[in-house]
Structure 1
Amino acid sequence: MARIAVIGAGTGAMAAAARLAVAGHRVTVYERSGTYGGSLGRYARDGFVFDTGPSLLHLPAVYRDLFVKTGKEPLERCVTLTQVDPASRHLFADGTAVSLPDASRAGVVAALDQALGEGAGTRWAQFLDRAGTAWDRSRRPLLEEPLRDDREVAARDPYPAPRRRRLLRPARQAATLAQIGAWELADPRLAALLDGYALSYGLDPRRAPAAAALLPYMEQTFGSWYVSGGMRELAGALYERCVLRRVEFVFGAEVVRVAEKDGRAAGVELADGTHADADHVVLGAQPGPELVPSQAWDATGTRSAGRAAAPGRFVVMLSLRGAREAGAVHRTVVHCEDGTGEQEAVFGGRIADVPTVTVSRPDDPSTRPDEAHEAVTLTATVAPHGPVDWTDPALRERFADVLTGRAALAVPGLRERILRAEVRTPAETAADTGAAGGSVPAPALAGAGGAFLRPGNRTALPGLYLAGGWSHPGGGPAHAGMSGALVAGLVVEGDGFRGSR
């Protein structure tokens, strides 16, 4: 039985902790804040309850596998999952609206043809077919296996972009998501739909490789799922599973350094000066040179260390009077008119004049005090804290008002119904999670020579492993859960571990 220190109590870290405890190891989790869950936060007041991070679960099979392998009680006996249908409603700048059914290719085709014109659905379906090929090509090396040292497989773009013939000039293929929208989808609304998926994950469509097509493919193929009570319930169930497996949690314990002895990780040093010995250390937080010994950092973080901070999320939580109207859609995306301008602002460290806004309206009695009220959450991807001062009260109020105005296109009589509005910005995310600038890590992507990969789970320092959204295979609840499984496999089986089969 080995002693294992886990830094952070996010979903990836807890996923690793639960699996390692089941394997017979003594696991202690050190969390800088006073609670578990990482980005799966919750805000509650006067009977209204809101998710402060992701609001839907994709690829629930990741957590079904985790709960089956860490105990006799499956996931669905710990939380209630409901497939969201329609998966999303989209309001485009020209006034067109379309609701997309969940996990139904034929339904999506029919809906797009009816809303956008004959042929739009077919073009989207053909795009998803190519995205499916990319999924088949990259699923194992990108999601189910530890990142290879040479990274050659993941560096190649798996998306089979058709060649675009041009008169008297060489044929070209789409290399970015924005080029797919312009060259293959041939409709600005379909392009906006595709861009919206990338932006929601914190990716710039102009730079994200064509392999980012996997993101809409995963959602539309495997579905979108709502956890009753909010995503915080999933974090709570994972925490309880860890406790059941005798994982020890120490809250309010900030780790300032991974200790190294005789050329391997030997424990953690805490802010209060104490030292905890360990045979293995799992880092479930954002790696940094101040936290990780230099010999490990060189191998795990240099590819991303020089990049600008990733975007964060601006969240407005609205407590509304009045009941949720019949037929209201759980998730509506209000697309902006100038997508390029928004992208230039978000990824250039500025505030977009008119952002794309996601409106979440769960039909869940546990999120509201009674049936005469409703809890609605507005979310926009924004530049991180630093380039933008998200602590500025006037700026926060002004931008929250912009989001509310956009959301009013989706929620009838929104402004007149507001009882209270609470705002959460990247500044709060940075304070709560320790992520620089309040950035939210995006999923790893193949292609672009490996520029969108995350540091591998195994580091150059023996005994030190990386789990969670800042490591392979990247951000989001499902990907973080996968990283926990990969770390557990590497610790239990050693360097010969090649992923689950």
Structure 2
Amino acid sequence: MAADKVPGMARIAVIGAGMGALAAAARLAVAGHRVVVYERTDTYGGALRRFERDGFAFDTGPGLLPLPAVHRDLFVKTGKEPLEACVDLVQVDPSSRHVFADGTEVALPNASRAGVVAALDEALGSGAGERWGDFLVRAREAWDRTRRPLLEEPLWPNWQVLAEREPYPAVPHKRLLRTRRAGTLAEVGAWELREPRLAALLESHAVEQGLDPRTTPASAAVLPYMEHAFGTWYVRGGLRELARAVYERCVARRVEFRFGAEVTGVLEKDGRASGVELADGTVAEADFVLAGVAPGVLDRLTAGTVLRGEGEVPPRPATASRLTVLLALRGDRPEGTAHRTVVHAADREAELEALFGPAARRPRPTVTVLRPDDPALVPGPGHEAVTLTTVVPARPGESWSDLAENMITVAERVVPGLRDRLLWQEVRTPADIADATGAEGGAVPVPALAAGDGRLLHPSNSTRVPGLFRVGGWAHPGGGLPHAGMSGALVAGLIVEGPDFRGSQ
């Protein structure tokens, strides 16, 4: 068989049932191929899991959906029913509420530049909104320059162009006798926004992804731009419902699932991938193998095989994970409560050192508080389900109980009477993420970003082994629900159309 394109119906083995792998499986099945997904756990969705107890339900992975167009495209391309016919997708308004270290608060309207400018001016003082609005104009330019190569196209063979060229049009900054331009996100905040709370707002988008704004290139300006331009969305019943809908679309297109089936090796024959071997010794032959697993896992599955050639992007191990605290509360959610509130850390530098530096002791962290207005998540009236999340280092074996209590203390600032209302709590640690995804330390992959010498690019979807592809958040274009979904589209395109595939239209 030719190494670069599917002739007629092919047998395709998919390792892992994460969201990127499911997206690829559905698209390939619609193209007429026999697709079998092998998942070592007992369910689908990767990090998109759900915890249920006493009538309460919580997402234990992402709680909000950016850039829903990626999943709308998936449903359009794989069947007659659109995404909105399969899940109840709603815009969150305000997009977020921010509580800064000095107690200042601002609620940012969803996908409204004029509304955001007015809200920032009122909360932070005249001129703050205009500076943020001007920043978003520059961020849009960075988005326009990188959207195709970093989200919609296979990774360029000359990816070094993306690594070396900074797409963000930084404003010249005069300092003493020198004129400089911001090269990192922190410098954008300090030199262009010139307001500590605006800088905290900007940097929170990087920290949320597990990125240090002091070293993350200015190209990360696309992260707040995506939220501003395309809105923040929620799926009624929780984002686990999105995973369910994608899984059911796969089943409807005759994708086969084997749960509790751990793949222990990728087989090769005549220099190309030829199937997978399972823990029970079973061999499943395939014409193509898609690996939706972390780089360390893929290395074990292909022991002794060189997957990338000289000059290709190497795997970029992530260093950050998530700590999540699920709170079952008595009492109704108050009218007008924001769905998402970000409570910023009192000491920015101390938090960044604890996350990305040598500091071992974690101060009170930045905490995201999710309070969805969703009756499906509670046993009935008079109850509320609240989720707290913070970014933590991906360190195996660490105890997180003290930090979890710290998070509850932080959340008390925005959830009055929280401890008096508390029925029970559940802590989900990086170890739980590792169990669900197989990533060492529960590491969470970051989205691909330009500049920064390519530190934030991910390995290409193709490998040096013909017939073996990478899919999901650990491959191009990186982590996050939109990026994982696009990885599925890119892999399907590369298999169906061959190496001449130039990306999603």
TM-score (norm 2): 0.95
Structure 1 residues 74 and 495: CA distance shift in structure 2, 3 A: same
What's the CA shift string for 1:56-107, capped at 9, x where partnerless?
Answer: 0011000101001100111000000010000000000001000000000110
State how far apart, in whole Å, the 2-side matches of 1:302 and 1:313 are. Answer: 29
State how far apart, in whole Å, the 2-side matches of 1:130 and 1:302 are. Answer: 30
* Distance apart, 1:294 and its partner CA: 4.4
Structure 1 residues 139 and 324: CA distance shift in structure 2, 3 A: same
How does 1:131-210 map onto structure 2 within 5 Å? 131-155=139-163, 156-169=165-178, 171-210=179-218
Decide whether the 8 Å contact of 1:351 with 1:383 is kept in 2.
no
**Aligned residue-pair number:** 493
Q: Provide the secondary structure at the position in 1 that maps to 2:24.
A: helix
How does 1:450-489 map onto structure 2 within 5 Å? 450-489=454-493
Residue 292 (1) aligns with residue 302 (2): yes
* Distance apart, 1:260 and its partner CA: 1.4
* Distance apart, 1:37 and its partner CA: 0.3
- The residue type equivalent to 1:243 in the other structure is V
Residue 258 (1) aligns with residue 245 (2): no
Q: Provide the secondary structure at the position in 1 that maps to 2:280.
A: coil
* Distance apart, 1:134 and its partner CA: 0.4
Question: Which residue in the other structure is 1:237 paired with?
Answer: 245
Residue 444 (1) aligns with residue 448 (2): yes
Question: Which residue in the other structure is 2:114 paired with?
Answer: 106
Decide whether the 8 Å contact of 1:351 with 1:382 is kept in 2.
no
State how far apart, in whole Å, the 1-side matches of 2:102 and 2:310 are. Answer: 45
What's the CA shift string for 1:415-465, capped at 9, x where partnerless?
Answer: 111000000010111122101110011101011121110111111111011
How does 1:102-501 map onto structure 2 within 5 Å? 102-155=110-163, 156-169=165-178, 171-288=179-296, 289-292=299-302, 294-299=304-309, 303-305=313-315, 309-348=318-357, 350-386=360-396, 389-390=397-398, 392=399, 396-501=400-505
Q: Provide the secondary structure at the position in 1 that maps to 2:37.
A: strand
Identity among equivalent pairs (%): 64
Q: Provide the secondary structure at the position in 2 that maps to 1:358.
A: strand
TM-score (norm 1): 0.96
What's the CA shift string for 1:170-201, capped at 9, x where partnerless?
Answer: x1111111111111110110111111111111
State how far apart, in whole Å, the 2-side matches of 1:89 and 1:16 are. Answer: 35
Decide whether the 8 Å contact of 2:446 with 2:478 is kept in 1.
yes
State the Cα RMSD in Å.
Answer: 1.4
What's the CA shift string for 1:244-283, capped at 9, x where partnerless?
Answer: 0000000011112211111111111112222111100011
Decide whether the 8 Å contact of 1:43 with 1:49 is kept in 2.
yes
Where has structure 1 moved over 6 Å in runs of 4 or more?
A: none
State how far apart, in whole Å, the 1-side matches of 2:202 and 2:183 are. Answer: 14
Decide whether the 8 Å contact of 1:348 with 1:383 is kept in 2.
no
State how far apart, in whole Å, the 1-side matches of 2:381 and 2:414 are. Answer: 20
Which one is further off, 153-162 or 219-228?
153-162
State how far apart, in whole Å, the 2-side matches of 1:498 and 1:293 are. Answer: 31
* Distance apart, 1:296 and its partner CA: 4.2
State how far apart, in whole Å, the 2-side matches of 1:310 and 1:301 are. Answer: 23
Structure 1 residues 14 and 300: CA distance shift in structure 2, 3 A: farther
Decide whether the 8 Å contact of 2:170 with 2:181 is kept in 1.
yes
State how far apart, in whole Å, the 2-side matches of 1:282 and 1:496 are. Answer: 19
Question: Which residue in the other structure is 1:40 paired with?
Answer: 48
* Distance apart, 1:51 and its partner CA: 0.5
What's the CA shift string for 1:265-324, capped at 9, x where partnerless?
Answer: 11111122221111000111112321235444334998555x664200000000000110
* Distance apart, 1:477 and its partner CA: 0.8
* Distance apart, 1:399 and its partner CA: 1.4
State how far apart, in whole Å, the 2-side matches of 1:285 and 1:300 are. Answer: 22
* Distance apart, 1:166 and its partner CA: 2.5
- The residue type equivalent to 2:325 in the other structure is V
State how far apart, in whole Å, the 2-side matches of 1:302 and 1:332 are. Answer: 40
- The residue type equivalent to 1:153 in the other structure is V
Unaligned runs of 5+ in 1: none
* Distance apart, 1:27 and its partner CA: 0.2
